[in-house]
């Protein structure tokens, strides 16, 4: 086929293209993934029994705020990474903010605790369950966000996969924190961030395989 014929073929009957299609795609993916994660959490884990008291504790909201901010920054990065020629921009730097905040809080908590209590503050009672549960609750969003990214054209597929995984991990952590009874900053700074990093690493590995176009 001659190039001029290809040009004519591509232009023939080309439909108008909707604006903001990529944002809608990610919004739909996030909604579907989050609903599935909430259902999974309620069915398998349940809300924490002391939720009424917990919502009056500032730490509960810090625990929600960290993954929420990671989620928003990750989503913004995804919508940019999916479009050729756009850089991540400030979304990458915003990512560091919640990490820095929770690490500072953790350092402060560890510093003011007696030496004998420090290990317990980090390990909590549910570290293994935390990482595994976040990974489980991240899975529906992981699939949905990869689907959304697959409809775009990431020119850096490993990075696009990593941020897709990060969004999924953050969504998983956000949902998990309604079940998880842990309230110590060192615990969150360690296991929540590890739980979120897991899907991000898996995403970075799968991106080059799944996101080619």
Partner 1 sequence: MSGREDELRSLLVRGLGGDGASYHAFLKDLSGFLRAYLRGRLAGIPDEVEDLVQETLLAVHNQRHTYDRGQPLTAWVHAIARYKMIDLFRRRSGREVLHEPLDDDALFAASDEGAREARRDLAVLLEQLPDRHRLPIQYVKIDGMSVAEAARVTGMSESAVKVGIHRGLKALAALVRQ
| CA distances for 184 relative to 11, 55, 103, 146, angstroms | 59, 15, 11, 32
Joined together, the tokens standing for residue 68 give: 């929420």
| 84 lies in the binding site for partner 1 (CB under 8 A) | yes
How many C-beta neighbours within 10 Å does residue 88 have? 17
55 contributes a contact to partner 1 by CB under 8 A: no
Q: How far is the CB of 127 from partner 1 (least distance, A)?
A: 41
Member of 14, 43, 58, 128 binding partner 1 (CB under 8 A): 14
Q: Which burial class, exposed, middle or buried, applies to 164 when counting CB atoms under 10 A from its CB (0-12, 13-18, 19+)?
A: buried
The answer to whether 16 contacts partner 1 (rule: CB under 8 A) is yes
Phi, psi at residue 57, to the nearest 5°? -95, 130
Residue 69 tokens, joined: 């901010």
Is residue 192 within 8 A of residue 63, CB to CB? The reply is: yes
Contact with partner 1 (CB under 8 A) among 27, 59, 153, 158 = 153
Interaction between residue 42 and partner 1 (CB under 8 A):
no
Among 110, 152, 160, 189, binds partner 1 (CB under 8 A): 152
Q: In this chain, which stretch among 91-99, 148-156, 171-179, 190-198 interacts with partner 1, using CB under 8 A?
A: 148-156
DSSP 17: -
User: Cβ–Cβ contacts within 10 Å for residue 132, how many?
Assistant: 13
Residue 209 beta carbon to partner 1: minimum distance, rounded to whole angstroms:
13
Q: How far is the CB of 72 from partner 1 (least distance, A)?
A: 19
From candidates 33, 82, 140, 203, binder to partner 1 by CB under 8 A: 82
Q: Judged by CB under 8 A, which stretch of 76-84, 135-143, 165-173, 184-192 contacts partner 1?
A: 76-84
Q: Select from 160, 137, 162 the least CA-distant residue to 149.
A: 160
Binding site for partner 1 (CB under 8 A): 1-4, 6-19, 21-22, 82-86, 152-153, 155, 212-213
């Amino acid at each position: 086929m001659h190039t001029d014929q290809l040009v004519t073929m591509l232009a023939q009957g080309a439909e108008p293209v909707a604006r903001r299609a990529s944002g809608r795609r990610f919004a739909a993916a996030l909604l579907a993934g989050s609903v599935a994660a909430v259902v999974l959490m309620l069915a398998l884990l349940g809300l924490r029994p002391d939720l009424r008291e917990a919502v009056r504790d500032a730490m509960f909201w810090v625990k929600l705020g960290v993954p929420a901010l990671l989620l928003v920054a990750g989503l913004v990065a995804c919508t940019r990474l999916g479009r050729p020629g756009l850089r991540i921009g400030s979304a990458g730097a915003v990512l560091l903010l919640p990490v820095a905040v929770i690490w500072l809080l953790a350092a402060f908590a560890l510093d003011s605790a007696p030496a004998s209590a420090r290990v317990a503050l980090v390990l909590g009672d549910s570290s293994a369950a935390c990482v595994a549960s976040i990974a489980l609750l991240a899975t529906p969003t992981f699939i949905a966000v990869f689907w959304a990214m697959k409809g775009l054209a990431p020119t850096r597929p490993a990075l696009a996969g990593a941020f897709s995984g990060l969004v999924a991990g953050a969504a998983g952590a956000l949902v998990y924190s309604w079940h998880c009874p842990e309230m110590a900053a060192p615990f969150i700074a360690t296991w929540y961030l590890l739980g979120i990093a897991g899907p991000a690493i898996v995403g970075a590995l799968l991106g080059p395989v799944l996101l080619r176009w």
